Amino acid sequence: MLVIDAATLYPRFSRDGALYSLDVIDGATITPLIGEDGRSPDPPDPAYQQILHGVPAADFSSDELLYLPRNVRTHKLYGFSPVEQIALTVNIALRREAATLDYYRAGSTPDAFATLPKEWTVDQIRQFQDYFDALMSGNSARRRMTKFMPADFRLIEARQPPLKDQYDEWLARVICYAFSVPASAFVSQVNRATSETLRLQATQEGLVPLKAWIKSALDHAIQVCLGEPDLEFTWVGDDAVDPLQQAQTLNILVGAGIKTIAEARAELGLAAEAKATPGLGKYNQNHDEVGRFTDAAHAVEPGASGATKPKGVQVAANDDAKTKSGAGALNVRITSANDVSAAVSRKVAYPEGWQACHEKCLAETEGVWPPSDRPGLYRRCVRACLGPAGDDY
């Protein structure tokens, strides 16, 4: 796939027609065929031919072989792989490495030139050269000492070629980009933020299209070869998107009403949330003598002798409420949405307009994310809706 862009799969079926295996075939042995109209033949005509050792070995129709080039071209039968795309760039990089090797192994330019009196003959220069080389070669301590040279001596240092420059970094960036690899390890020192940006950029611009192509190929194998049109391949643990940024984005979209909670869960690969009936919740009718929730064995009947009314939800009949308040209302303290359904089942008298206020606040807090924010938003909504009467509601 990365070298010749000719990924090939051969689906093998059992005798009953079920998929037995997907065999990986060397794409270099497959030759696409074209018909008289210049297009790939339709089944049952052969569309691909496998050539082994220069001899045609087998013919395959388009539904018998999965030939999956990624970068197809209109003027070529074969794909255009990343290796082929950067072949010239790699050739330049190899030649630069070979030149660097020759610089250390067989260079012809010395580090410096030294002049001698022009009256000296060639033999005198050669003799002085041999004397100087014998004096300095292999003697590191003597190289640091002062040397006395003939008159008119002058040292000329040769300019050394750069062994690494910005062009080498450019070659590394091009090659890394072709294979969706961050180039931070091959370029100049960068800080952590820049390195993370390069990694995300390489992932989003290179790895995401590659993963999408693999998904398309596997979806074809699942839906056509396996005969499961309702199934699809999905990547799990996708790191192409920053999880924190994705959570913040979904929170904003759900809060603004652009997406629902179900759509956000589907985007995260989670199952749909079981939606509860509005206005209903868990209800426990059993309370102890101080009003706390308990099991049936330790429950105290409301109104029994020696029992105190539960705190938090005050239970009273409508007639008693009218007698005590005179306005037909009873102060009731609601501590959670579950207490609402409990109070409804006990026929508690609520402030005037509580039902419309309750339904309105439930609707407004339905799509709030995260769920831990819902009780506080619900209470503020009730307070704003009922006014002072909402303090006890």
Distance, CA of 11 to CA of 222 (rounded, Å): 11
Instruction: For 166-195, write each residue's pLDDT tens digit.
Output: 888 888 888 887 887 777 767 776 666 666
Task: Sheet with 30-32: list strands edge to edge.
Answer: 30-32, 48-52, 55-60
* 66 close to 47: Cβ distance less than 8 angstroms: no
Mean pLDDT computed over 28-53: 90
Task: Sheet with 66-68: list strands edge to edge.
Answer: 19-25, 7-13, 66-68
pLDDT band at residue 107 under the 50/70/90 scheme:
low
Residue 218, classified by CB atoms within 10 Å of its CB into exposed (0-12), middle (13-18) or buried (19+), is: middle
361-365: Cβ within 8 A, 24+ apart = 361/385, 362/278, 362/279, 362/337, 363/278
Select from 366, 367, 365, 368 the least CA-distant residue to 382.
Answer: 365
pLDDT band at residue 284 under the 50/70/90 scheme:
low
Please check the confidence at residue 278 and state whether its pLDDT lies above 70.
no
Distance, CA of 190 to CA of 196 (rounded, Å): 10
* 43 close to 50: Cβ distance less than 8 angstroms: no
Query: What residues does 8 pair with on adjacent strands?
Result: 25, 67
Dihedral angle over CA of 286, 290, 292, 297, nearest 10: -40
pLDDT of residue 30: 92
Select from 232, 239, 240 the least CA-distant residue to 204.
Answer: 240
Distance, CA of 30 to CA of 179 (rounded, Å): 24
**CA–CA distance from 367 to each of 46, 131, 388 (Å)?**
56, 92, 27
Select from 315, 347, 317, 353 the least CA-distant residue to 332.
Answer: 315
Q: Residue type at 219? A: D
**CA–CA distance from 136 to each of 116, 126, 144, 147 (Å)?**
18, 15, 10, 11
Q: How many residues does the chain have?
A: 393
pLDDT of residue 47: 92
Query: What residues does 25 pair with on adjacent strands?
Result: 8
Please tell me the least confidently modeled range out of 135-139, 161-165, 255-259, 310-314. 310-314
Please check the confidence at residue 112 and state whether its pLDDT lies above 90.
no
pTM of the predicted protein model: 0.47
Distance, CA of 354 to CA of 387 (rounded, Å): 11
Cα atoms in the 13 Å half-sphere on the side-chain side of 95: 6
Cα atoms in the 13 Å half-sphere on the side-chain side of 171: 16
Distance, CA of 293 to CA of 300 (rounded, Å): 10
Please tell me the least confidently modeled range out of 34-38, 87-91, 266-270. 266-270
Averaged confidence pLDDT in the chain: 75
Mean pLDDT computed over 53-81: 89
The separation between the first and the last C-alpha atoms of the chain, rounded to the nearest angstrom, is 67
Q: Where are the domains of the chain?
A: 7-84, 241-275, 296-391
